[in-house]
């Protein structure tokens, strides 16, 4: 359970992670490698949502800082996830400033989020969120929503931990994550329905055209 009784999302290895970090702080290089293997997948997914194809370079910079400042860290495995995510976020923002690029929001209106669709639940969005396509869609969300979803679902932080990374209130992060997942579900649903709908429309259009030509009375 996280602070305030909130369950953490993906913390299966936090016990192992906490132990590995403690040993790494004592100079155990193999333990640091264990911590890296546990944290890196989620951290890389988070960075892909922020900087796209430059994620691995930014992650490398982040891990250099993590290794350098490891002795200053205090906390457990869950805390280490949040601490590394904070460092990675700072490096990503530095990268974006250097590139003079900012993540773009979408032009979708709020009422679109309430439309029914084949992907009407968040579970389907969560199942797809680690795919490259889902990460690309996440980069189209407003930045506060994209980061909240990435931190909570991909990195596995609870609301308070994600809030500390972003410097916001837990309630604001939960709201942003909720809205982001809802919008992502709609985008995935639109993609799922779009191809078939276009084909059907094409068939219907051809059929109507044939009917008009074939059905014209002789003069």
Per-position pLDDT tens, the chain of length 219: 444 444 444 466 889 999 999 999 999 999 999 999 999 999 998 998 888 889 999 999 999 999 999 999 999 999 999 999 999 999 999 998 888 744 543 332 232 223 233 333 444 454 445 566 777 777 788 889 989 988 988 888 988 999 999 999 999 999 999 998 888 888 877 766 654 444 444 444 444 444 444 444 444
Query: Cβ contacts of residue 97 below 8 Å, gap of 6+?
Result: none
Query: What does the pLDDT read at residue 5?
Result: 45
Burial class (CB in 10 A: 0-12, 13-18, 19+), 207: exposed
What is the distance between the terminal CA atoms of the chain, rounded to a whole angstrom?
A: 80
Q: How many whole angstroms separate alpha carbon 98 and alpha carbon 101?
A: 8
- pLDDT for the residue numbered 110: 30
Q: What is the structure's pLDDT at 131?
A: 60
* The overall pTM is greater than 0.85: no
At 116, is the secondary structure helix, strand, or coil? Answer: coil
In SS3 terms, 44-77 reads as: HHHHHHHHHHHHHHHHHHHHHHHHHHHHHCCCCH
Which pairs with CB-CB distance under 8 Å and at least 24 residues apart come from 117-121? 117/185, 117/186, 117/189, 117/190, 117/193, 118/189, 118/192, 118/193, 119/185, 119/186, 119/188, 119/189, 119/192, 120/185, 120/189, 121/185
- 78 in Cβ contact with 158 (< 8 Å): yes
Model pLDDT, residue 129: 52
């Amino acid at each position: 359970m996280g602070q305030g009784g909130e369950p953490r999302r993906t913390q299966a290895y936090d016990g192992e992670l906490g132990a590995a970090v403690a040993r790494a702080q004592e100079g155990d290089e193999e333990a640091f490698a264990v911590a890296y293997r546990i944290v890196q997948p989620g951290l890389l997914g988070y960075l892909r949502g922020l900087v796209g194809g430059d994620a691995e370079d930014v992650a490398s910079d982040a891990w250099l800082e993590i290794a350098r400042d490891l002795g200053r860290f205090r906390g457990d495995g869950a805390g280490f996830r949040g601490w590394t995510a904070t460092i990675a976020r700072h490096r990503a923002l530095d990268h974006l400033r250097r590139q003079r690029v900012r993540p773009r929001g979408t032009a979708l209106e709020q009422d679109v989020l309430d439309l029914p669709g084949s992907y009407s639940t968040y579970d389907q969005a969560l199942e797809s969120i680690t795919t490259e396509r889902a990460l690309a869609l996440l980069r189209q969300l407003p930045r506060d929503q994209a980061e909240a979803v990435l931190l909570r679902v991909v990195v596995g932080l609870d609301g308070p931990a994600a809030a500390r990374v972003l410097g916001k209130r837990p309630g604001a992060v939960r709201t942003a994550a909720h809205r982001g997942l809802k919008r992502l579900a709609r985008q995935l649903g639109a993609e799922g329905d779009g191809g078939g709908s276009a084909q059907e429309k094409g068939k219907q259009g051809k059929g109507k055209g044939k009917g008009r030509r074939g059905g014209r009375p002789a003069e």
